[in-house]
Chains A and B, each alone.
Chain A
Amino acid sequence: MGRNSKTLLRKFHQARWDEEIIFELSVPGERGILVPRAEDGIRAEVGDGISVIPNNLKREKPAGLPEINQMRVLRHFMRLSQETLGADIAPDIGEGTCTMKYSPKVQEHLAARHPGMVEIHPLQDENTIQGILEIYYKLEQFLKEISGLTYFSLQPSSGSQAIYANASIVRAYHASRGDNKRDEIITTMFSHPVDAAAPATAGYKVITLMPGENGYPDLGAMKDALSERTAGIFITNPEDTGIYNSTIDEYVKAAHDVGALCSYDQANANGLLGIARAKEAGFDLCHFNIHKTFSAPHGCMGPAMGAIGVTKELGEYLPVPRVKFDGKKYYLDYKRPKSIGRVRCFFGNTPLALKAYAWIMQHGADGLKEAAEISVLNNNYMEKKIREIPGVVVKYAEGKRRLEQVRYSWEKLMEDVGVGTDDVERRMVDYGLPHYFQSHHPHVVPEPFTLEPCESYSKDDIDEFVAVMRQISKEAHEDPELVRNAPHNAPIHNIPMPVIFDPEEMATTWRKYKRMKGIK
């Protein structure tokens, strides 16, 4: 018996292994793996090798690691993997702002198994890594075309680090002009919070503009915030609500008028490929999340890649090295005196460049545009159905279309039956769906949830997702305790205190937990 063909609901139960913490599996003397030992010929020359360690730097007691045979280690982590709802086994339509695309296996197999990728040292002679340098160089050309900006660097290893790198470039640009008054960055409440946090880490004061009725700040509010102290604006468009600011170029112009730079957080670029670009809106900098828009997997929170793009004028500030091509050979250019230096060792997360390169090569210009259009179509189709579910409301921009995602609200469900977004989120797992993304903080939209049915999901996937949400709303009205006490079919049950503030309750390592509980 498969999924109920009328309700589209499935009788799901996730793996529940009741698995021990790894240390509890330890059996003194067991080995998980044997390691190479020095040959006799080496020992004869150098002895034990460790007597050269100064006495006060010798490890006196072996590390308190567990001792476990190999099969049990494997089984342990296999079980933990089964207790994880990755996008490969559960449609991850719910993680709005994250663009949980299908990460093609052919890319993964190439990146994770080909010795020409796996067994490469980043400091090898340029002549021996021409294939990788070519991928870097060509991906940069593709991203230039997709954004309209002039130069790219693939060194930053996440969207957040990309924004930090861009904030560093903004800082270096103003400093190089002797303009040291600029100590403010402006962002918006519905831009990703790292558009505030990364510039703050770079030393800036941050001004956050609140949304007006149309979902984004009024142009007047932006103009009021801008001054000769503004170093730059860091802004997402469409913002995390899916609402596109149709006058974005006027905000950019206003910022330019006071001498500020404009950095475009393109974490939400998926609906825009081939449709609208950073260049036409006038931005000076942008970044793409390679693990979102360009299909590389998210890997349990990384490794990731944030490709940063800049205008011609800002090219000299990009991190070192830059990958260049002299017509015959790809090479690395380190001679860049105005560069911000580095944000990451070596070249960043190289395998992700391979994956993005392959994905773009598989789709071409038409395919990329198709991905964008279908992602927006999927979203509009799903929005229509989600809006019909009792308890759901959508704030801002009444009557206007969202692009690739929508921030919804269970405000009405909370008012009507006292079931909120946390409860619904836990209940989803009981139907085989990974969690959804609520919203960053503060929750300006009350009881929020943000959905992004990108182009990877079929109509049927979306219909099933909607059916689950409808079912949970129904349950909330008929039997709210069922939802509040969820999950029921997950690896574990509800956690009374998932967020821990009390130092006495912080068991951040097993050794500390044992001390807290008095376990020997």
Chain B
Amino acid sequence: MSEKKIVYPYIPNSVSTVKAQMMKEVGISDIMELYDEIPEHLRFKEKMNLPEPILDEYSIRKHVEGLLNRNKNCSEYLNFLGAGCAQHYVPAVCDEINGRGEFLTAYSGFFWGDHGKWQAWFEYQSLMGELLDMDHLSVPQYDGAQAAASSLRMASRINGRKEVLLPKTMNPEILLVVRNYLKGAAGSEIASTMIGFDPKTGLLDLDDLRSKISDATAAVFIENPSYLGMIESQAEEIGKIARENGAEFVVYTDPIALGMIAPPAHYGATIACGDLHPLGIHMQCGGGQGGFVATHDDMEHASQFKDFVVSLTDTVVEGEYGLGLVLPMNLSYLAREEAKEYTGTSTGLWAITAAVYLSLMGPKGMEEIAQTIMQKAQYAAKKIAQLDGVELRFSSPFFKEFVVNFDKSGKSVKKINKALLKHRIFGGKDISREFPEFGQSALYCVTEIMTKEDIDRLVGALAKVAK
């Protein structure tokens, strides 16, 4: 106690007089007496080899800012990267609400002291329900990939079948998550079979689908818009084929498209899923993802959710809203290994943020943003396609992403993107390794934040670097 001691601002009882008083109350003279239950041979006796601390707040801020300043960001660069994390505008109110300490630092409190959190979650479910035209959602999952993976396991539980059909154009990151999630120990795997696509349109090959679907198929899964950006115009037909064969039709969609493009339920999806990140959440280097899963309210589907499902209910005071929890025995908190799947802390703060976003946007805002995105993306694609040595890889209509092929320029995407960096532009995602059959191709993403001037700047830069 006599040595010069640091008082840590985040550790109030590091004040030596307080610490001494508490030790006295507890009846110890050496702090290590508290660890009597840890035998000597299990103790770590050295001092951890960590950097010397940066104790004052100003200096830690400078230190971390120094690291972050080394990054180039999408405010200073024009960004055309998407592929599951697109740069949309985040309304100030979204940041204001999710920065509120009450929300930011709440956790698993129940319906009374945390009533506001539960109401916001219920509103999230309700607003997403309107956007998707479906009745049943849970609080969100980790990301869209987890939502896709869980949707497929839900499908398998619903019909007891053990094979899913996935599109070959699927987002490769999501595919990696799904593949791992469908594995089982000792042969209990749900198999995944890939369905080909039309090389010209990029759309699903329906003949391949018909030849591979069977009474073993648990689900037919599509992305709409697809990973490569296309609007899957055959979606209704795909759903029909799925349902005729007794399979679930699982559609992964982009919620920011749904003001203009029909939600999956309108063309026969039995399970809709996707990622929340476009709805008012910053990119944060991928830290802004959140997954959603939605179904109709029949119990066959509604009983398969693995996460918290919130319901509006009554309190003892007439007319007062309370919130409750649906089918808690489905949750692994209660059911342990008998649960549908494991659950845990996910992305509750993003549920609240998405609720704020949809409340601000309203029906009109969602229509307008989808239209703006489509116009700007089409403009960019059109202008890029006019360049020498550059062409669009697919002919199909798309939402906000499209594949640009550079084969005729004789340059690799890697080289082009490096050159674009000098113009302070992040070019589209290089997909030449993911899809070698498309040659030197990049996936470009254009959202509502791009102005005509921005797009023209990209086109001008591409004209130079792809020459």
**CB <8 Å contact, B22 and A32:** no
Q: Are A86 and B106 CB-contacts (below 8 A) given A342-B177, A435-B113, A497-B313? A: yes
The 8 Å CB contact of A116, one of B47, B71, B100, B181, is: B71
B214 close to chain A: CB less than 8 A: no
**CB <8 Å contact, B343 and A160:** yes
Min distance, Cβ A44 to any Cβ of chain B, angstroms: 9
Min distance, Cβ A3 to any Cβ of chain B, angstroms: 17
The 8 Å CB contact of B359, one of A73, A142, A345, is: A73
A446 close to chain B: CB less than 8 A: no
- List of A residues within 8 angstroms of B188 by Cβ: 203
**CB <8 Å contact, B328 and A499:** yes
A1 close to chain B: CB less than 8 A: no
**CB <8 Å contact, A370 and B186:** no
A281 close to chain B: CB less than 8 A: yes
- List of B residues within 8 angstroms of A429 by Cβ: 112-113
Min distance, Cβ B309 to any Cβ of chain A, angstroms: 6
**CB <8 Å contact, B19 and A88:** no
Q: Are A342 and B173 CB-contacts (below 8 A) given A121-B74, A300-B348? A: yes
The 8 Å CB contact of A299, one of B146, B349, B417, is: B349
Q: Are A354 and B344 CB-contacts (below 8 A) given A35-B89, A120-B283, A507-B311? A: no
Interface centre among B26, B54, B121, by most chain A C-beta atoms within 10 angstroms, is B26
- List of B residues within 8 angstroms of A299 by Cβ: 98, 103-106, 347-349
A429–B346 Cα distance when bound, in Å, is: 25
- List of B residues within 8 angstroms of A345 by Cβ: 84-85, 143-145, 173-174, 177, 286, 289
B343-373 vs A, Cβ < 8 Å mask (1 yes, 0 no): 1111111111001101111111111111110
Q: A80-B117, A401-B37 provided; 14 other pairs, C-beta below 8 A?
A: A21-B119, A59-B260, A59-B262, A62-B367, A80-B115, A89-B102, A115-B73, A157-B143, A183-B186, A200-B342, A345-B289, A433-B113, A495-B112, A510-B126
**CB <8 Å contact, B358 and A65:** yes
A480 close to chain B: CB less than 8 A: no
**CB <8 Å contact, B52 and A495:** no
A368–B8 Cα distance when bound, in Å, is: 10
A-B contact pairs, 12 of them (CB 8 A): A47-B375, A84-B109, A116-B67, A119-B87, A121-B74, A123-B85, A300-B352, A301-B108, A345-B289, A401-B36, A458-B13, A508-B137
Q: Which residue of B lies closest to A98 (CB)?
A: B107
A186–B8 Cα distance when bound, in Å, is: 40
- List of B residues within 8 angstroms of A21 by Cβ: 119, 122-123, 126, 312, 321
Q: Which residue of B lies closest to A498 (CB)?
A: B324
**CB <8 Å contact, A441 and B367:** no
The 8 Å CB contact of B53, one of A361, A456, A457, is: A361
Q: Are A50 and B53 CB-contacts (below 8 A) given A301-B107, A346-B286? A: no
Min distance, Cβ B348 to any Cβ of chain A, angstroms: 3
Interface members, chain B 52-83 (any A CB < 8 Å):
52-55, 57, 60-61, 63-65, 67-77, 79, 81, 83
A460–B95 Cα distance when bound, in Å, is: 33
A410 close to chain B: CB less than 8 A: no
A134–B377 Cα distance when bound, in Å, is: 34
A274–B320 Cα distance when bound, in Å, is: 50
Min distance, Cβ A132 to any Cβ of chain B, angstroms: 6
A48–B260 Cα distance when bound, in Å, is: 12
Top 7 A-B pairs, shortest CB-CB distance:
A160-B344, A346-B286, A203-B184, A116-B68, A88-B101, A364-B53, A83-B116
Q: Which residue of A lies closest to B110 (CB)?
A: A435
A299–B378 Cα distance when bound, in Å, is: 38
**CB <8 Å contact, A457 and B12:** yes
A471-491 vs B, Cβ < 8 Å mask (1 yes, 0 no): 000000000000001010011
A315–B76 Cα distance when bound, in Å, is: 37
- List of B residues within 8 angstroms of A277 by Cβ: 44
Q: Are A81 and B112 CB-contacts (below 8 A) given A361-B63, A495-B313? A: no
A36 close to chain B: CB less than 8 A: yes
A340 close to chain B: CB less than 8 A: yes
- List of A residues within 8 angstroms of B77 by Cβ: 128
Q: Are A249 and B260 CB-contacts (below 8 A) given A68-B362, A196-B337, A362-B54? A: no
B467 close to chain A: CB less than 8 A: no
A360–B189 Cα distance when bound, in Å, is: 41
**CB <8 Å contact, B285 and A350:** yes
Q: Are A120 and B73 CB-contacts (below 8 A) given A366-B53, A501-B327? A: yes
- List of B residues within 8 angstroms of A208 by Cβ: 336-337
**CB <8 Å contact, B110 and A121:** no
A157–B143 Cα distance when bound, in Å, is: 9
Interface members, chain A 79-108 (any B CB < 8 Å):
79-90, 92, 95, 98, 100-104, 106-108
**CB <8 Å contact, B112 and A131:** no
B179-209 vs A, Cβ < 8 Å mask (1 yes, 0 no): 1110111111100000000000000000000
Which of the 9-residue segments A219-227, A255-263, A376-384 touches chain B? A376-384
A249–B131 Cα distance when bound, in Å, is: 53
- List of B residues within 8 angstroms of A182 by Cβ: 185-186
A300–B328 Cα distance when bound, in Å, is: 18
Q: Are A183 and B43 CB-contacts (below 8 A) given A120-B73, A508-B137? A: no
**CB <8 Å contact, B348 and A32:** no
Interface centre among B332, B362, B378, by most chain A C-beta atoms within 10 angstroms, is B362
- List of B residues within 8 angstroms of A362 by Cβ: 10, 53-55, 60
**CB <8 Å contact, A63 and B337:** no
**CB <8 Å contact, B102 and A65:** no
